[in-house]
Amino acid sequence: MKRKILIYLIFGLISIKGMSQSPNWTVITDPETGIEFSSPENTARFDSLYTTLYGGEIDSTEAVQVHIFRNADITNSDPVFNEALAQENNDTLRAIERLMLLASDSELTAIQEITTNGVRGLEIGITYKSLQTEIPYHTFVRYYMMDGNFISFTWTGIETNLKSAGGTKDSFFNSVNLD
C-alpha cells in the first residue's frame, strides 16, 4: 500500500493535460470523506477502488491535485519504510516525506508542520525536473493521516508560478476543510 501511495503521489505531481483554462474556482466536497477544498472549475474527479484523485489545471504550467487514499494501511513491515520510520523517530508523516524524496529523486526546498481543523499534517516543498522538458517544477504537498485515510493536497508550477502564485498556492491550501 505504501508503494502504491508513493507511485500515485509521484506521478500525480505532473499536471493533468487537456483541461480548459479557467480563472474561476469552486468549492468541492468529497462525498465519501466530507473533505472540502477550492479548486479550478475544470477540476476532474477520477475514482478507483480505494483512491480518489481530483485534478485541476490553472494553466499549462500550474495545477492542483487532491489524492484521497481510503483505508491506507501504513505499517512498518516494509524494510525501507521501517528504516525511514526509525530515522524519523517513529513519525509516520516525516517517514513518508523521506520516502517521497527518495522515490521521486527530488530536492526538498521547504518543510513545516501544519494543523488543519485540529488534524496534524506536513507541508513539503520539492523541486524536480519534468521528464518531458527538463524544466524544473516546484511542488508543495500538504498531507495528512485522518480516520484511516491518507490525504494529500498538491500545488505544482514552474519557477515563475512559484514567484507570482503565492496567492494561488496559499488560497488553495487555505481552502482545505477537514471537518
- pLDDT band for 160, please (50, 70, 90 cuts): low
- pLDDT band for 23, please (50, 70, 90 cuts): low
Domain that holds residue 105: 25-175
- Asked, for residue 108, whether it belongs to a domain, the answer is yes
Residue among 131, 128, 129, 121 nearest 153 (CA): 121
Would you say residue 115 has pLDDT above 50?
yes
- Asked, for residue 3, whether it belongs to a domain, the answer is no
Answer for the pair 64, 38: CB distance below 8 angstroms, yes or no.
no
pTM for the full model? 0.82
- Asked, for residue 80, whether it belongs to a domain, the answer is yes
Q: Locate cell 517517514: which residue?
A: 95
More confident residue, 100 or 11: 100
Rounded to whole angstroms, the Cα distance separating 169 from 174 reads: 9
- Asked, for residue 52, whether it belongs to a domain, the answer is yes
One DSSP character per residue, 110-136 reads EEEEEEETTEEEEEEEEEEE-TTT--E
Mean pLDDT of 98-115: 89
Evaluated on CA atoms 100, 101, 102, 106, the torsion sign reads: positive
- Asked, for residue 16, whether it belongs to a domain, the answer is no
141: cell is 504537498
- Asked, for residue 59, whether it belongs to a domain, the answer is yes
- Asked, for residue 12, whether it belongs to a domain, the answer is no
DSSP conformation class of 31: T
Phi, psi for 7 (deg, rounded to 5): -65, -45
pLDDT for position 12? 46
Distances (CA, A) of 65 to 16, 70, 86, 117, 133: 9, 16, 30, 20, 21
The CATH code of the domain that includes 161 is 3.40.1000.10
User: Residue 47 half-sphere exposure, CB side, CA atoms within 13 Å?
Assistant: 5
Rounded to whole angstroms, the Cα distance separating 28 from 40 reads: 10
Rounded to whole angstroms, the Cα distance separating 98 from 81 reads: 9
- Asked, for residue 17, whether it belongs to a domain, the answer is no
Q: Name the domain count of the chain.
A: 1
